[in-house]
Amino acid sequence: MAGEIDHHTGDELRQALDVCDIVRPRIVVDMRQIAFMDSSGINLFITAHQAVTEAGGWLRLAGPTRAVRRTLQLVGVDALIDCRPTLREALTP
């Protein structure tokens, strides 16, 4: 899913982030190639974060672009969802 996260790509992302029946899920989303994310993407990540946290796991965004980081900061999601500067850092326990 390269390029953007919006209402057109949301279903695929929603399926990928589904943690039903997974104990302590650990999810890393590689954001290095995402240039645009709208409110539907933000809502997907908030919902996923809540589900993963309730299941005792974590969700990390790896290498979000400047535009995506700015979007996350504007709505305050950067304080909720763990963003790591690199994929390596996101994969490190």
- pTM score, whole prediction: 0.90
All domains of the chain in start order, with CATH: 3-15+24-91 (3.30.750.24)
State both tokens at 73: 């900061």
Question: 26: which strand partners?
Answer: 58
Question: 71: closest CA among 16, 13, 5?
Answer: 5
**Per-residue pLDDT tens over the stretch 2-27:** 589 998 888 889 999 999 889 999 99
pLDDT at residue 21, as a whole number: 87
pLDDT at residue 28, as a whole number: 97
**Which of the two residues, 91 and 8, has the higher pLDDT score?**
91
Three-state DSSP at 76 gives coil
With a cut of 60, say whether residue 71 has pLDDT above it.
yes
Report residue 5 CA to chain centroid gap.
10
**Which of the two residues, 21 and 82, has the higher pLDDT score?**
82
